[in-house]
Structure 1
């Protein structure tokens, strides 16, 4: 019975994987076909020509290489800042006692329900007065600030299962709050930090709204990708090639760190055992 159920599970998973792979195959094939064939649908075979013209055109006519480095800089810096600041904040809310702790935590949690559209106009006015329009700081600050709510929730929930005996033993040995964080808590929260780092990188990399409004010269890949769409010409082959270039970095990051992501998403704490 177990062998039969495992075969059924394998078959179902294979079918689902094939369904998920069909759009990816379609994008790759579309990027390799000329425009007059791409508009007919990537599955058509009445005329079938493979060419790299779309790739050459999209790399020469649009600043995708520069946009790639801008996206990498924005996503990398925001990920590092989130991964450094979130564990300390979650540790403070979980283990330390200070005035207005619960009030501050409630305020941070309420940002879950705060969409980006609400802060667009106030931030635009603020950045214009401070001279930060077309500066990467105008993107990094909201990237890190808006990610605090969910990232603190993830790490704080992870720390709920942390053995308090270790905390008490560290206090008896004379460890202060800072030493306790760096030597006791932080080494045991790497799984949750990896999870929030992956999610933050993917969100920052794919974000379109804020860079589209606040950046002018240094544009990331999503903004460059949006500019490829023609007004009268659909440019399906060009957009397919640009979509593949845009997806390379987040797909690579997710494949490399998928184990850490799953461990951080599912584990309560690696310290119990």
Structure 2
């Protein structure tokens, strides 16, 4: 029988949780109060009034509709491609035998230590020579390629505990590598695949550097809303609105798929009951 948590632990977690949400409360308050009331601190209650002028200004001055669609397209394509290619690559590295398998895996895993800033200039020159500047592929390809390091590592760790008896049974039944992957491994590896998809979506939705460098039109939300800052006016109310708009969709996606995300750490085998 699992014992109850001590009361002091609950109090500590409550305090930590409250401290964690204080900045979120501040952002929401700044987005619905005039700048004249929050200049010296959003927590001040000398004068309290509410307005949606910041929201109206952001929606009126910035093309958020096109930016939202561009962000959804970039994040969606990158996430789907990663979820399709990662389990196949992890399966090949774990179960199949081919030349230079270990060397290729080491090269891919070592991409963990490669900063994103190192590749932006060589990529820019490559895309410029190929005429791919302001092409969605110039952003999607690095999104998918840079995610292979951690995504293959995550799914391959899951396959470490995958019952090899199922693989051997499928081979006895006449299944080839592709059939074994489709009918045995893939249906039982949905938890790590969903985890990879959520992490990839969160990263690509909030990414700023690559779209800012390689795209000229159809800019995503992070790039458009980064221009909210004025040259002389801090525009804290507009920044608060931009932060809420940018983070709302990833928050909803995580809340919807959090069960699949958490299940990745609870599955110990690939067998079905």
Q: Supply the distance in 1 between the matched residues of 2:193 and 2:6 (Cα, whole angstroms).
A: 33
Q: Which runs of 5+ in 2 are unaligned?
A: none
Verify the 8 A CA contact 2:188 2:272 in the aligned structure 1.
no
Structure 2 counterpart of 1:271: 271
Give the match for residue 195 of structure 2: 195
Q: Which residue of 2 aligns with 1:224?
A: 224
**Alpha carbon RMSD of aligned pairs, Å?**
1.5
- Which whole-Å CA distance do the structure 1 matches of 2:90 and 2:109 have between them? 12
Tell me, in whole angstroms, the C-alpha distance in 2 between the residues paired with 1:236 and 1:77: 33
> 1:166-222: per-residue Cα shift (whole Å, max 9, x none)?
111111111100000000000010000000000000000111111111111111111
**Aligned residue-pair number:** 272
Which residue of structure 2 lines up, in the alignment, with residue 206 of structure 1? 206
Q: CA deviation at 1:10?
A: 2.6
Once the 2 structures are TM-superposed, how far is the Cα of residue 272 of structure 1 from its aligned partner?
Answer: 7.8
Q: Quick check: 1:162–1:272 contact (8 Å CA) kept in 2?
A: no
Cα deviation for residue 27 of structure 1 reads: 0.4
Which residue of 1 is the match for residue 143 of structure 2?
143
Residues of 1 paired with 2:85 and 2:257: CA distance?
A: 20
Partner of 2:28: 28
What is the alpha-carbon distance in structure 1 between the residues aligned to residue 19 and residue 225 of structure 2?
Answer: 25
| Structure 2 equivalent of residue 237 of structure 1 | 237
Residue 184 of structure 2 corresponds to: 184
Q: 1:48: which partner in 2?
A: 48
Q: Give how far 1:69 is off.
A: 1.1
Instruction: Report how far residue 101 of structure 1 moved.
Output: 0.7
C-alpha contact (below 8 Å) 2:75/2:205 kept by paired residues: yes
The offset of 1:266, in angstroms, is: 4.9
C-alpha contact 1:28 1:240 (8 A) present in aligned 2: yes
The equivalent of 1:9 in structure 2 is 9
Please list every run of 5 or more consecutive structure 1 residues that lacks an aligned counterpart in the other structure. none
Deviation at 1:4, TM superposition (A): 7.3
CA offset digits 1:55-78 (Å, max 9, x no partner): 000000011221111111100110
1:32-58 superposed Cα distances (whole Å, 9 cap, x missing partner): 011222322110111221000000000
2:125 match = 125
Partner of 1:105: 105
